[in-house]
Amino acid sequence: METADPRQRLFELASQRGTSLSALSRLLGRNPSYLQQFVRKGSPRKLEEVDRATLARYFGVGEHELGAPEEISFTRNQGIDGDWIDVPRLELGVSAGPGALDPGEQSIGSLRFSKVWLRQQGLDPALLSSVEVIGDSMEPSLRDGDEILVERLNGPPRDGVHVVRLDGALLVKRLDTSRPGLLTLISDNRAYPPIEVDSGDAHVVGRAVWKSGRI
């Protein structure tokens, strides 16, 4: 069963929290007008699964309130009220090499983290996703097959390791933001030269805040 009007519910939740639809769109890594168009114009027709899950965690509500079937909402959020948080694992593959095309941000499961640990790290569960690294350009920092926890960008990018969308590809690179209007994407593996682009040509999706991998 779906809620009768997830658009109205989203508007109510935003008003109660005192936040704008533009701010919530940026939280999702979207164009600032994304949720305005969803609420007021009905486009897109429904929220993407990952966006819906992020907003549900942000507001502390079930996904069914934002348009998900009741059974999906229960499964996705069953750990949210206990001592653990289920962070969605996305099927997109973040390339640490030439660049992997993004097949769509679809959840393929989750990784469970302690609420206490996330709080100690200063991380907001509503902004987190987990993705796999592909390639060797970030060795030795990140290796092929490593899993990284990515915090969606909520403000201007700063130096550090980030996931960046460039020309339809998703890359994990170290950012140099020291020159206004320019963004330099740096590989830790010196066999890969830096990539310099205009800031407006690349979308910084989020910052890598944790990694795991096989020994």
Domain map of the chain by residue range? 1-78, 81-215
Mean pLDDT score, 112-117:
85
Domains 1-78 and 81-215 share a fold: no
Confidence bin at 103 (pLDDT 50/70/90): very low
With a cut of 50, say whether residue 3 has pLDDT above it: no
Compute the distance between CA of residue 202 and CA of residue 183 in angstroms, rounded to an integer.
8
- Report the share of the chain in percent with pLDDT over 90: 21
Q: Residue 98 burial by CB count (10 A; 0-12/13-18/19+): exposed, middle or buried? A: exposed
Q: Residue range 18-45: average pLDDT?
A: 86
Which fold is adopted by the domain 1-78?
434 Repressor (Amino-terminal Domain) (1.10.260)
pLDDT tens by residue, 155-179: 777 778 999 888 878 889 999 988 8
**Architecture, CATH, for domain 81-215:** Ribbon (2.10)
| Alpha-carbon gap, residue 206 to 165, rounded angstroms | 10
Q: What is the pLDDT of residue 162?
A: 92
Residue 101 has pLDDT above 50, yes or no: no
